[in-house]
Chains A and B, each alone.
Chain A
Amino acid sequence: MTALARTHPLRRIPHAGSLGMILLLLVAGRLVNPSFLSPMNLWAVLSVSALLAVASAGQTLVILSGNQGIDLSVGAIMTLTALMVSGMAGSSDEAVPLTLAVVLALGALIGLANGIGVRFLALYPLVVTLGVSFVIEGLALVYAQSQPPQMPGPLIESIGIGRFFGIPWLVVIGAVMTVLMTLLLRFTRYGRQLYLVGSNIRAAQMAGVPVTRVVLTTYAASGLLAAVAGVLLYGYVASANLSIGAPYTMMTIAATVIGGTALSGGSGSFIGTVLGAVIFSLISNLLIMLGLGPALRYAISGLVLIAVLFATSRDAA
């Protein structure tokens, strides 16, 4: 019992590892290029991080839900959403509210389908969400062929690249999302039930947790949040294509896991994921600053990921 009580002082600071990593990356960036710490670059990194954090919100919920929970359809949903917003809203703002309602509902429905596959068909989440992602990609292709993508209207564009009192809208949205997600996980009944289900689904059932409702809500929320991220991505890139969301599937998993959420479920936080997204974005940014081409950048960020996971997953165990 005394061994439990003794803890390294650094461990008492939440997310000490991630914060240290961010500091390290900032220092390294400064050494590589003095403009790394310029406000412009920092806002750019934060915007990309916020976009990734929003995209990872659903992934965090799904991974927290445990029982091999993972959502491989995030990227496909983001692609479909971007294409649909582009096709439906066009370059004006008039149709934006209706369009948003449609794409967000569609995202939630796709997520619900994932949840049904996981809970009622008792399939592995990996298999269900991968299968669904192929279906969505097919739909996206059909949609893109009938509705050629357009440039976003002023509203969507300003969400993507505009600023609010000097702060990029993406960062504002990311901050709001961080607060909402944290409240959701810490203080709502659903959030607390999610941790129980992720930690031990049988024990949750024994305690009377409505397990099915929690699992379905989680996957539906993941689909909805992926759709939100798809809208933001479309605004940020200011165009839509068939592969726009694809990298996000793996990036969201990376951000979530770097952020300390256990892949086995039941332990983790959204703040962790946000810091994970910042780390991931800083690494990419640093590699761009070093003038590396995309090929090398991918390879190196992969290796760095493994190194980070090696360091963080050991102290999680």
Chain B
Amino acid sequence: MTLVLQGISRDFGPVRALDDVSLAIGPGECRALYGGNGSGKSTMAKIASGILSAGAGRVLVDDRPLARTSPAEARALGVGITFQELSLIGELTTGENLVLADVPRRFGFLLDRRGADAAAHAALKRVGLAGLRGRRVELLQTGEKYLVELAKALQSHPRYLIIDELTSAMHASEVEIFAGLLAEHLAAGGGALFVSHRLPELRRFCNTISVLRNGKLVFEGALADVADDDLVKWAGGGHRDEMPASRAPLAGEIRVQATGLRPLPGARPINLAFRSGEITGIGGLPDQGQKHIQRLLAGLQPAVAGERVTLSGAALALGDSAAIAAQGISFVSGDRDEMVFARRTIRENMQAPFVAMKGRPMPDDAAILAALDRLNTRHAGIDRPIGGLSGGNQQKILVARCLLLNPQVIVAEDCTKGIDVASRNDVHHLLRELAHVQGAAVIVTSSDDQELAGLCDRVLVLDGGQVIAELSKVEQTLDAQAIVSAYMKQERAA
């Protein structure tokens, strides 16, 4: 009687997220699935619960294979999952959300309101929230939402519970409720897979652990036998692809000075400076304020009271993306849906920032072609719609656009997301040149700590909106291990 994931591999486009990973969970076992950003742990959880398909390998629930990519089938076989990015529908009430997957019915098609209410009441009583079943989910607090999510997962009486990250916004009392239910579940012979990058949580709830790094299983064993430092090292170590050594940065004058930043609501304000000729990475666990900083600098997000940014001494028009672009800050994101004009030609996509602002001469075809060549971009002519190209090539075009602009500052938000290694290297090469040769201040984030370590001259590690570590290539304090250790240690101390 075990939940077995056997030889699981999974690719996202050119990126291998999981590479031949196996693990098993027996009755009464709570297994930790541990790893840094982008290590593949959430992908593993989603494959186990039928949300994603595995490229190779199989999922066996008590010897019965999960034949289709279907959460309903996984649920029927006895696997339940809770998400950190909650699967609840905000506009519906707590009770409605709970019975959504299997609505009590009369005559097969009429909604059985009384039955639904009773089922919701019973399920919510377990998490101590029975009184909230008439309230819309969007009005709940984060911790309450999480418990509702847990109640929803337990609704189908799963033998195997997959917990994809507990929210850090949970109250101590709420964590107690969670702990009680988990203990009850394990005592009844159930198993659990607890996905997290927070060691204290894992230590508290789990007895075995599997460690993933870059989609590969690097350690498996009893949690009591291993030290935190080893776990952190295993999760962060090793280099997937060698990055060419970065030449010593020009370390020029301070170009961007940001004061009174509040990267997360309620966080203490911080000050940041970015120098010309330097690539600065902003690392840390997801959603620690990286997005706010980058979008603020690009004018895509209104400023919070007290925030002030200067560019070479002049105040930035925060919240006004057009004005900020004209002041010399270029933004490029890996989210192509919000970057690409799919219907329009490559030429128009390249010229868009010049069309947007006055006073800059429009690049001609020769300049456009030269920029594209620099990035080894494949295309069938710049008068073709960009939408016909592969994601990697579209992404290169967006970066090549920055080359034409020759901006003072480049803000790159996970700009190599989902592109292959060769393209990624082309993009890195270009960002380095923009910083080290042309003297731009480059500010990058990445969902991949290896990439940050390889590309950046300096990495600021954020946690809860605060800079908890500053790592520098010149001082030889910067590698992926150091980034992971910084944010993992923070979690351990918390």
Contacts and interface: CB of A to CB of B under 8 A. Distances in A.
A219 interface: no
Interface of A: 1-2, 4-5, 189, 192-193, 195-196, 199-200, 202-211, 262, 266-267
Interface residues of B, number: 31
Contacts of B338: 200, 202-203, 206
Contacts of A4: 380, 384, 388
B348 A203 contact: no
B343 interface: yes
A211 B355 CA distance: 12
A189 B358 contact: yes
A202 B333 CA distance: 12
B379 A208 contact: no
A198 to B, nearest CB: 8
Across the A-B interface, give the 3 residue pairs with the lowest CB-CB distance, nearest first.
A208-B325, A208-B356, A199-B341
A193 B355 CA distance: 6
Contacts of A211: 322
Interface in B336-357: 337-344, 348, 351-353, 355-357
A4 B386 CA distance: 11
B223 interface: no
B300 interface: yes
Given A196-B341, A203-B339, A206-B300, 15 more contacts: A195-B344, A196-B355, A199-B343, A200-B337, A200-B342, A203-B340, A204-B356, A205-B321, A206-B321, A206-B338, A207-B325, A208-B356, A209-B355, A210-B322, A267-B343
B355 A203 contact: no
A281 to B, nearest CB: 29
30 contacts: A1-B378, A4-B388, A5-B381, A189-B355, A192-B351, A195-B341, A199-B344, A200-B337, A200-B340, A200-B342, A203-B339, A203-B340, A203-B341, A203-B352, A204-B341, A204-B352, A204-B356, A205-B300, A205-B321, A206-B338, A206-B339, A208-B322, A208-B325, A208-B353, A208-B356, A209-B355, A211-B322, A262-B343, A266-B341, A266-B344
A5 B389 CA distance: 12
B430 interface: no
Contact of A208 (B324, B343, B381): B324
Nearest to A209: B356
A1 B379 contact: yes
B298 interface: yes
Given A5-B380, A193-B356, A208 B321 contact: yes
Nearest to A3: B388
A205 B299 CA distance: 9
Given A207-B325, A208-B321, A192 B380 contact: no
Nearest to A189: B355
A209 B352 contact: yes
B331 interface: yes
A47 to B, nearest CB: 34
Contacts of B348: 192, 195-196
B247 to A, nearest CB: 30
Nearest to B393: A1
Contacts of A200: 337-342
B333 A206 contact: yes
B103 interface: no
B326 interface: yes
Contacts of B300: 205-206
Nearest to A202: B338
A210 B338 CA distance: 16
A202 B388 CA distance: 20
Interface string B308-329: 0000000000000110111000
A66 to B, nearest CB: 9
Nearest to A205: B321
Contacts of B388: 4
Nearest to A66: B343
Contacts of A199: 341-344
Q: Which of A202, A206, A267 has the most CB of B within 10 A?
A: A206
Nearest to B358: A189
B380 A207 contact: no
A199 B352 CA distance: 12
Contacts of A196: 341, 344, 348, 352, 355-356
A193 B351 CA distance: 10
B340 A207 contact: no
Contacts of B353: 207-208
A86 to B, nearest CB: 42
B15 to A, nearest CB: 22
Contacts of B379: 1
Nearest to B355: A192
B144 to A, nearest CB: 30
A256 B387 CA distance: 24
A208 B340 contact: no
Nearest to A1: B380
B294 to A, nearest CB: 12
Interface centre among B331, B338, B339, B356 (most CB of A within 10 A): B356
Nearest to B353: A207
Nearest to A266: B343
Contacts of A1: 378-380
Contacts of A202: 337-338
Contacts of B355: 189, 192-193, 196, 207, 209
Contacts of A5: 380-381
Contacts of B356: 193, 196, 204, 207-210
Contacts of B357: 208
A22 B360 CA distance: 43
B331 A206 contact: yes
Nearest to B336: A203
A27 to B, nearest CB: 34
B322 A206 contact: no
Contacts of A267: 343-344
Nearest to B329: A208
A208 B317 CA distance: 12
Contacts of B342: 199-200
Contacts of A204: 341, 352, 356
Among A193, A200, A209, A211, find the residue whose CB has the most chain B CB atoms closer than 10 A.
A200
A101 B490 CA distance: 69
A60 to B, nearest CB: 16
A195 B343 CA distance: 9
